[in-house]
């Protein structure tokens, strides 16, 4: 299934993308694409609904983040060997984890706002994992059993905050609007091999990132299992899994976003996002 949330920010309704690409309103089936609706039981309830009898959403509504009420928004750093190389970093021996603030989550086509005084805001196309079952100390072999699905994340990053201000990376990762998610949450059964998905990102029509999940240092199963050693994962938690090469920080000279820029990004089978960069307001 492809699950979606549509409507004004803060008032999104749950939806299903039907085989014809139309959005069907799921409000009579679940209250939101969040929490227990993402569990095996919740997804089974949605799958059981006759999509042909669900109301068609008309017009051109705003698409919100594909998962609501996110409790934990966790990120993996330097998880692509070719990206680590471009930044001059050593290959990690264990996953590097940091937090993105859940308050940074926005819709896939919402504006990305430069933080006040920012001059080094960067782009990162990433595969995000959406958790569907409570998970603690999950074996790698069983890791996909606790995953509801996958979506696109743009892990927008302010590099001076991240690198030059001391302390944890989270300083440059959780700024307002720095977590576009969506357009859809695609359930696990729709993806034949999550480690063979092409991914890309353009800025103003110029290709910046071209990659594949096959070059991850730590794969999806490893990441879910690893994170569950350090914290309890709950339905609706999101783990974004790192970016391939082509970020602005790695260019010579570095290149960063400015107001008016347009980012377009996608991952095979997971759709596409477009964001306009706007000045702080």
Query: What six digits make up the tokens of 7?
Result: 């409507």
Angle among Cα 209, 211, 214 to the nearest 5 degrees reads: 160
Q: What is the C-alpha separation between 139 and 221, in angstroms, rounded?
A: 9
Per the CB < 8 A criterion, the answer to whether 67 and 238 are in contact is yes
Higher pLDDT, 237 or 170: 237
Tell me the pLDDT tens digit for each residue of 177-209.
999 999 999 999 999 999 999 999 999 999 999
Per the CB < 8 A criterion, the answer to whether 272 and 266 are in contact is yes
Report field, pTM of the whole predicted structure over 0.85: yes
Tell me the pLDDT tens digit for each residue of 17-41.
999 999 999 999 999 999 999 999 9
Tell me the pLDDT tens digit for each residue of 256-279.
999 999 999 999 999 999 999 999
Tell me the pLDDT tens digit for each residue of 122-145.
999 999 999 999 999 999 999 999
Residue 93's contacts (CB-CB under 8 Å, 6 or more residues apart) are none
pLDDT in the model for residue 81: 84
Query: What six digits make up the tokens of 50?
Result: 């006759």
Grade residue 85 by pLDDT with cuts at 50, 70 and 90. Answer: confident
């Amino acid at each position: 299934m492809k699950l979606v949330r549509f409507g004004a920010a803060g008032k999104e309704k749950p939806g299903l993308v039907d085989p014809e690409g139309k959005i069907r309103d799921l409000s009579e089936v679940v209250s939101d694409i969040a929490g227990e609706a993402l569990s095996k039981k919740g997804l089974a309830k949605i799958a059981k609904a006759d999509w042909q009898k669900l109301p068609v959403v008309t017009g051109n509504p705003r698409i919100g983040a594909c998962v609501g009420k996110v409790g934990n928004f966790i990120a993996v750093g330097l998880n692509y060997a070719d990206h680590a190389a471009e930044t001059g970093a050593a290959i990690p021996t264990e996953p590097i984890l940091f937090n993105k603030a859940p308050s940074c989550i926005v819709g896939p086509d919402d504006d990305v706002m430069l933080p006040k005084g920012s001059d080094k805001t960067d782009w990162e196309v990433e595969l995000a994992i959406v958790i569907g079952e409570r998970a603690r100390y999950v074996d790698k072999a069983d890791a996909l059993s606790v995953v509801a699905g996958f979506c696109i994340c743009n892990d927008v990053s302010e590099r001076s905050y991240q690198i030059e201000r001391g302390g944890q990376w989270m300083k440059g990762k959780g700024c307002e609007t720095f977590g576009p998610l969506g357009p859809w949450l695609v359930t696990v059964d729709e993806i034949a091999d999550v480690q063979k998905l092409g991914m890309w990102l353009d800025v103003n029509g110029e290709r910046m990132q071209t990659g594949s999940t096959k070059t991850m240092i730590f794969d999806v199963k490893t990441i879910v299992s690893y994170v569950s050693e350090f914290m309890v994962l709950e339905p609706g938690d999101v783990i974004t899994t790192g970016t391939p090469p082509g970020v602005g920080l790695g260019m010579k000279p570095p290149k960063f976003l400015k107001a008016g820029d347009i980012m377009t990004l996608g991952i095979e089978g997971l759709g596409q996002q477009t964001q306009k960069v706007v000045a702080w307001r």
